[in-house]
């Protein structure tokens, strides 16, 4: 079995290392995230939330929609969803308490703390009951799971029949010259700046290494919807974003009014 890509070269399991890494960089995470993406990550989130809002508008329910934002970090995806979907009640769920603390302050400042609850926990073993959420999102988080399939099965379990899942993740562009520019920026420039600003020498080296090792495109579709993986979302649509720098996987669980 291939050794998983981890932030630090020590004996801790991957999820413990990931939690420690994000605790270490939480104080600078939002600044670096938007700096490195040149703000394009906001456009990606807005596209995802537009799809989410359209799905919920056709769900034919008058009750408040229950949304789960897995690997919420400091809650940027939750904020975008809360602003676009005023009837939504959102649970932001993350392994890193340091990131969640930053997120809680953010929700208070934005007046969203009553609608967005931030909860600490392991995405591969969530405390929520089956079919607890009408929709779920995860941005740049599934790549950090210790056991990808276990985390995806948990997401499938807590999603209501007919529910929508949106998974936003980095991918690897293939077209010239985006491929070459992305490689230079992602492998050399970004880690150097990240180490200097965050004071964590490993965090921004781990990012390109984990992206390089992560399945994408049809390989990811097979994991999400293929029977051998045992997850079996009913459908999986792939949106390639900004020349393939990121991919948005739109998955649906079988059953419900949208089946």
Cβ–Cβ < 8 Å for 250, 166 = yes
**Contact (CB, 8 A) for 135 and 56:** yes
Position 258 pLDDT exceeds 50: no
Q: For residue range 163-210, what is the model confidence (pLDDT) as tens digits? A: 999 999 999 998 888 889 988 988 888 888 888 878 787 888 898 899
Domain positions in the chain are 14-171+215-252
pLDDT digits (tens, 9 = 90+) for 77-121: 999 999 999 999 999 999 999 999 999 999 999 999 999 999 999
* Percent over 90 (pLDDT), the chain: 69
Q: Is the pLDDT of residue 12 over 50?
A: yes
Describe the strand order of the beta sheet including 235-241 as a list of residue ranges: 116-120, 88-94, 65-70, 133-139, 159-170, 246-252, 235-241
Measured at the CA of 106, the angle between CA 100 and CA 110, to 5 degrees, comes to 145
CA–CA separation, 207 and 163 (whole Å): 30
Would you give the DSSP letter of residue 186? Answer: I
Question: If one looks up domain 14-171+215-252 in CATH, what number appears?
Answer: 3.40.50.150
Residues in the chain: 259
| pTM metric for this prediction | 0.93
Q: Which of 209, 208, 96, 84 is nearest to 137 (CA)?
A: 84
């Amino acid at each position: 079995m291939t050794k998983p890509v981890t932030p630090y070269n020590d004996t801790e399991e991957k999820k413990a290392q990931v939690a420690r890494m994000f605790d270490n960089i939480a104080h600078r995470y939002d600044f670096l995230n938007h700096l490195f993406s040149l703000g394009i990550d906001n456009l990606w989130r807005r596209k995802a939330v537009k799809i989410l809002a359209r799905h919920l508008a056709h769900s034919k329910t008058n009750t408040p929609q229950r949304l789960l934002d897995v690997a919420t970090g400091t809650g940027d995806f939750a904020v975008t969803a809360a602003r676009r979907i005023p009837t939504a009640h959102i649970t932001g769920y993350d392994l890193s308490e340091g990131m969640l603390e930053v997120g809680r302050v953010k929700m208070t400042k934005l007046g969203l703390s009553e609608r967005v609850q931030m909860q600490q926990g392991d995405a591969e073993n969530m405390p929520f009951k089956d079919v607890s959420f009408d929709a779920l999102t995860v941005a740049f988080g599934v790549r950090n799971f210790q056991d990808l399939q276990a985390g995806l099965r948990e997401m499938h379990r807590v999603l209501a029949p007919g529910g929508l899942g949106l998974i936003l993740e980095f991918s690897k562009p293939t077209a010239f010259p985006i491929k070459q520019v992305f490689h230079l920026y992602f492998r050399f420039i970004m880690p150097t700046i990240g180490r200097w600003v965050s004071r964590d020498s490993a965090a921004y080296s781990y990012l390109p290494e984990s992206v390089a090792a992560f399945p994408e495109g049809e390989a990811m579709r097979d994991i999400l919807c293929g029977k051998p993986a045992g997850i079996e979302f009913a459908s999986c649509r792939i949106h390639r974003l900004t020349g393939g720098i990121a991919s948005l996987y739109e998955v649906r669980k079988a059953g419900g009014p949208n089946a």
